[in-house]
Structure 1
């Protein structure tokens, strides 16, 4: 199973390889800050860094602070905002406040490598997990959240000097049909943070040569989907144009909590699909969960543009769900 890079896992891996690294985490934000609570940045002792905490606004200032942390092993809480004399220097002059924790990894007051590895493993295993940090004593505890949200933005934060971050399972996109559009959609979705699974019974289509960095399941979709735990952090799209594969896939996913379901095809094709699925016992309300034609209407023509419209529709459904 291939998943996007877990930033805490990367920090732990670099430490295991003998590098001194610090981890910066967004504790709270207000106003125009472009990254949510829980966003992280790994800073290496040579000044290189991975990830982001503000989309470029404060990274430079935080890297310098992190290098100091690596010299003495202490933790810091930094705050930048419109009233801060450093606001213009760090790029927040447009408005906003951001509070950031910077901690060494594996020594001093910092987070343990084992805690980061536990979080990374939970992410890979699609299990929710959390971490609490006492900002006065720097004591830490790994916690198991009771519920998982579709979107972690806004979960956790600071209360009574204790920072809590709930790490949900990664977002996942299941693509039925290893077609040309999927070759563009899969890497786009991975860049957006999705774990991508592609299902197609045709080995010549679902081949590592065509999809070198994605999880492939060479099987009929109705069989493959029984082995996947489709949850409310999963989106599914069908791209085959073949009712033998699309219809069973859509029937199966309608019984789940998938937050987005889309099917490639024209308006006429979707109308025929609706009639056939209602005949199979799918209710009108259930069928209305399927977006068809799939994607936002942006005039897409090429496979890459269609893939872009699909990912845009998935993003809109995730971030701006209908009431």
Structure 2
């Protein structure tokens, strides 16, 4: 039976099952070849009762992994499993051809210490980027951040690209906080932008204190914060996995949000408005005490220059620029 837990909460599910006395194992895709159904770093939690949460193959080999995981729970040892995904199985999960995957299975409380898993879960809850580092020669495990001195630029690059994988015999499972976006201004561009943000994997919220703009009828199903932008951003919280986009080009609304964003470590801040509008914005921010380097963080006019005209095209240009910034594309 599949757990109703959120698909991304796999370490949390494994820890909960273990603490409830149901035993648990954590299976992680560590290598892929060809058209593997799930990327490296994908995880599956298995309880001692055969319950599962998550996926390592999109359905192709989960049954076999469960059987092996139940045996690992008895032995307490880490298993390295390798599976071939046939052309027929690959086609069933939407791929053109087959491939192979390598899966690491770790029994919680034995091979994978409960304390390490608890620290991982705590880091994820605090939105702190962390990697689970597994030495597959000595089977030693620890948590590391992007400044880890032993792994250097290799681990920093993996955090930037959200890419788990091997560095020689050491496997790095990257756990970045979910991406977030705050859109200030419930204007026409925000309508396609909110949809595109969610499709790209962002937890997006819309901020606008004007009831006529931020109405549910205009943005059905979206999270709308009807507070003033500075208060809303402070309450929501900003970090290095958050993008902020201001769309009103009204200083009364945009400027408070921009000031809060510039005082944070958001990875992207984009502001709608012409070159002339931005020049006035720069003058106001300079007068308010912001430095030239701080102001230079603003992407304005917002979005890549792709000749966009319609609201949807402008939203595409904004998402493209955010993606380029996230992935450190020059």
How does the TM-score come out when normalised to structure 1?
0.68
> Structure 2 matches for 1:275-290, cutoff 5 A?
275-280=279-284, 281=286, 286=295, 289-290=298-299
Shift of 1:236: 0.9
How far, CA to CA, are the matches of 1:34 and 1:322 in structure 2? 27
Partner residue, 1:128: 129
Assess, with a 3 A threshold, how the Cα gap between structure 1 residues 72 and 286 changes in structure 2: closer, same or farther: closer
Please give the per-residue CA displacement for 1:148-178, whole angstroms capped at 9, x wherever unaligned. 6662534552543x43334333323222235
> Structure 2 matches for 1:100-119, cutoff 5 A?
100-104=103-107, 106=108, 109-119=110-120
Consecutive unaligned residues of structure 1, counting only runs of 5 or more, are none
What is the aligned counterpart of 1:237 among 235, 245, 261? 245
Assess, with a 3 A threshold, how the Cα gap between structure 1 residues 235 and 130 changes in structure 2: closer, same or farther: same
Instruction: Report SS of the residue matched to 1:24.
Output: strand
How far, CA to CA, are the matches of 2:7 and 2:226 in structure 1? 18
How far, CA to CA, are the matches of 2:301 and 2:124 in structure 1? 31
For the 8 Å contact 1:230–1:256, the answer to whether it is kept is: yes
Shift of 1:298: 8.8
For the 8 Å contact 2:207–2:232, the answer to whether it is kept is: yes
Please give the per-residue CA displacement for 1:265-304, whole angstroms capped at 9, x wherever unaligned. xxxx42332231233337599458414354785968577x
Answer with 8-17 or 288-297: which moved more.
Answer: 288-297
How far, CA to CA, are the matches of 2:302 and 2:314 in structure 1? 11
Partner residue, 1:218: 227
**RMSD of aligned residue pairs (Cα, Å):** 4.5
Assess, with a 3 A threshold, how the Cα gap between structure 1 residues 120 and 237 changes in structure 2: closer, same or farther: same
Count of residue pairs brought into register by the alignment: 304
Assess, with a 3 A threshold, how the Cα gap between structure 1 residues 185 and 157 changes in structure 2: closer, same or farther: same
1:65 paired to 2:65: yes
For the 8 Å contact 2:303–2:319, the answer to whether it is kept is: no
Shift of 1:235: 1.1
How far, CA to CA, are the matches of 2:215 and 2:123 in structure 1? 28
For the 8 Å contact 1:26–1:99, the answer to whether it is kept is: yes
How far, CA to CA, are the matches of 2:126 and 2:178 in structure 1? 9
How does the TM-score come out when normalised to structure 2?
0.67
Consecutive unaligned residues of structure 2, counting only runs of 5 or more, are 1-5, 149-155
1:322 paired to 2:322: no
Which of structures 1 and 2 has the larger relative contact order (alpha carbons within 8 angstroms, sep 6+)?
1
1:173 paired to 2:181: yes
Assess, with a 3 A threshold, how the Cα gap between structure 1 residues 226 and 65 changes in structure 2: closer, same or farther: closer
